Chain A
Amino acid sequence: MTNLKAHKSLFVAPKGLHRDVVIDLSRQKEEPEWMLEFRLKALEIFYQKPMPNWGVDLSGLMMDDIHYYVKPIKDVQRSWDDIPESIRKTFDALGIIDAEQKMLAGVGAQFESEVVYKSLQKEWKDLGVIFCSMDDAVKEHSELVKKYFATLIPAHDNKFAALNSAVWSGGSFVYVPVGVKVTMPLQAYFRIDQPRMGQFERTLIIAEPGSSVTYVEGCSAPVYRSNSLHSAVVEVIALKDSYVRYTTIQNWSQNVYNLVTKRAVAYRNAHVDWVDGNFGSKTTMKYPCIVLKEEGASGQVISIGVAGNGQHQDTGAKMIHLAPHTTSHIIAKSISKAGGNASYRGLVKVAKNAHDVKIRTQCDALLLDETARSDTYPTIDIKGERVSVEHEATVSNINEEQLFYLMARGFTAQEASALIVNSFLNVFVQELPMEYAVEINRLIAHEMEGSVG
């Protein structure tokens, strides 16, 4: 599919995962020895761990049929004609201009304003904020990386965390010094050195005491990859009295298995907000987790999953209360249509010494037709005392009467269902930066095309 042979300077590892691939990859990146060692240990763990056999069907995932490393380059590397028709249509529906479309599809140079980026870059630098690719951070901020890298998600956490640890490439590194409040969201999109989301990207965000930062990655446009596995690891460290908001929107092409591990830890009185949108992909397993480690910590996860024909979104959230007076809130929304399955899987755990804990979970599923499916698997495990738990789950569908009512007010069938769906997702969309919110609304309208008879 992808026209890789056209570019001779591109480094493409052979298919399958061997020790040599990892060593080559690390050398290509000119990494320090400790990172290579870390990768090789992770590889051993990856070999030993069995495939997960719960939740979703991964039998179609051919682990030996994947290129584990393709060196990202900025030149044109494939032709526009290689991009599937369905993706090009979505670009049009989203109103994304040509140059940007090509960048998103990975066929052209990056589209963005260098000027804007450079002035922001200076601002961040003056504040002592570090915002760069993970690859650069390993070389340039080695001590910081060493201190936190893989502390929240060690390689042995699960098979795909091990895989990512062995072959990771790309992703963001964010460091915010003590007391610094970054007002503009840091957008991975604007990062000039590595604009595109990789296949095994690795992101690490460190917020020092009293600091605050918002990080945004992904976009609503579909990300086309010929490779069928995306497996990211994201670690967020929110130290005492800090605030971190992590926002991600992902829309993978429909051949992709999206199996990611994302975790945050909140120390004393720190707050972590996690906003997570999942569109596209064939199969997604994603359960962002917040560990409320010290007294007064709080966390919120707002997630949505949208599943259409042949898609299975198994998403949710985990909240681990390890300390007293901690608070968590999960809002999970899912939409399924045309035989798609969007399910919620959640875990809320309260340790024995964690008392006076407040927990709220809210899962709402919207089914757009009779073949759509949604299951809810909430697990609540409470050992502490004085724990207040609120759990709410609703399943609704768009009914004929609602559609007729709106159509009798001049909305087409498609506009009517998009309006219903958008209102359902409103709580999520409100949390997004403006330009993302607009795009998401358009994306929903586009996804509704042909879904209503």
Chain B
Amino acid sequence: MLTISHLSVSVGTIPVVLDASLCVEQGKVTALMGPNGSGKSSLLNAVAGHPSYTINEGTIIFGQKDITSWTPDKRAREGMFLSIQNPHALPGISVNTLLRESFRALNPGVSMRECERRLSIALKLLHLEDAFLARSVNEGFSGGEKKRCEVLQLLVLQPKVILLDEIDSGLDVDALKDIGKALSDYMQRHPETALLLVTHYQNILEYLSPHVVHVLHEGKIVFTGDRTILPQIQKDGYDQFKSA
């Protein structure tokens, strides 16, 4: 579904990702792990087309299309969804407006009734009240509300490739459970979806068991394997990959 080949990324003159290659496949959960500052968020931002992240080398292929130089909105319309770690507030733009307008942009020709239907299911799943929809996006949201809002959008928009940057950070136990369950339920119901999950904790992985695990260190992918590596990461941290 999404093939990233030999990607090198810089922010200004600082290299942040070096020669990274990985595949995100349909129906599978791919985990991208690594310590803080290892380049995980940079990789995700570059894949989604953030203008501050310059791709110096490599390609991003989505389906059959080379999207390396596409604008973020074009990638989104192709079916890519990025949830960044700390989404910015949009004062005056309600959650409702954002949902509806992006539904319209991403699902041309699909009736708004379908948007309503998905929305009412998603609200229940995430334990959100209708009043939440009237609030300005991310303005005065708690950490948990921000993440719930991201997952709410995902559930309504139903993208083909989902990129989640630390969707589990700053969550209390209940929020983690709601979000973890909602995501795993979604993946089961939509086996055509590909999910790339960035995390450095393992909390969320209790709900979403990864098929593939990549470890990023100083901008390079230093390990690729399956979920059997998780207990070892839990035990010894990321230092063990340094020499790899």
Are B105's CB and A409's CB within 8 A?
Answer: yes
A410 at interface, CB cutoff 8 A: yes
Provided the pairs A408-B76, A411-B101 are in contact, do residues A420 and B50 lie with their beta carbons within 8 angstroms? no
Are B71's CB and A413's CB within 8 A?
Answer: yes
Are A402's CB and B76's CB within 8 A?
Answer: no
Mark interface residues in B64-83 (1 if CB within 8 Å of A CB, else 0): 00000001110111001110
Are A420's CB and B105's CB within 8 A?
Answer: no
Are A410's CB and B48's CB within 8 A?
Answer: no
Partner of A404, one of B51, B97, B105: B51
B203 at interface, CB cutoff 8 A: no
Interface of A is mostly: helix
Partner of A423, one of B51, B71, B84, B93: B93
Which residue in chain A gives the minimum CB-CB distance to B48? A408
Are B88's CB and A409's CB within 8 A?
Answer: no
- Contact residues in B for A405 (Cβ distance below 8 Å): 84, 87-88, 90
Are B102's CB and A410's CB within 8 A?
Answer: yes
- Contact residues in A for B90 (Cβ distance below 8 Å): 402, 405-406, 420, 423
For chain B, residues 33 to 90, give those with C-beta under 8 angstroms from any C-beta of chain A. Answer: 48-52, 71-73, 75-77, 80-82, 84, 87-88, 90
For chain A, residues 382 to 411, give those with C-beta under 8 angstroms from any C-beta of chain B. Answer: 396, 399-402, 404-411
Distance of A396 Cα from B90 Cα, bound (Å)? 12
Are A419's CB and B101's CB within 8 A?
Answer: yes
Size of the chain A interface, CB-CB below 8 angstroms: 22
A415 at interface, CB cutoff 8 A: yes
Distance of A412 Cα from B210 Cα, bound (Å)? 33
A426 at interface, CB cutoff 8 A: yes
B106 at interface, CB cutoff 8 A: yes
Provided the pairs A400-B52, A415-B105, A419-B101 are in contact, do residues A407 and B72 lie with their beta carbons within 8 angstroms? yes
Are A413's CB and B88's CB within 8 A?
Answer: no
CB distance from A405 to the nearest CB of B (A): 5
B233 at interface, CB cutoff 8 A: no
Are B84's CB and A410's CB within 8 A?
Answer: no
B153 at interface, CB cutoff 8 A: yes
Mark interface residues in B103-142 (1 if CB within 8 Å of A CB, else 0): 0011000000000000000000000000000000000000
Partner of B98, one of A399, A409, A426: A409
- Contact residues in A for B101 (Cβ distance below 8 Å): 411, 419
Are A412's CB and B73's CB within 8 A?
Answer: yes
Interface centre among A416, A420, A423 (most CB of B within 10 A): A423
Partner of A426, one of B51, B88, B92: B92
CB distance from A146 to the nearest CB of B (A): 47
Which residue in chain B gives the minimum CB-CB distance to A427? B92
Binding site for B on A (CB under 8 A): 396, 399-402, 404-413, 415-416, 419-420, 423-424, 426
Identify 20 residue pairs between A and B in the complex whose beta-carbon atoms are under 8 Å apart, listed by A's number: A400-B52, A401-B88, A404-B50, A407-B72, A407-B76, A408-B81, A408-B82, A409-B153, A410-B77, A410-B106, A411-B73, A411-B102, A413-B71, A413-B73, A419-B93, A420-B93, A423-B90, A423-B92, A423-B93, A424-B92
| Extra pairs beyond A402-B90, A415-B105, A423-B90 (17, CB < 8 Å) | A399-B88, A400-B51, A400-B52, A405-B88, A406-B98, A407-B76, A408-B49, A408-B73, A408-B76, A408-B82, A410-B76, A411-B101, A413-B71, A419-B97, A423-B92, A423-B97, A424-B91
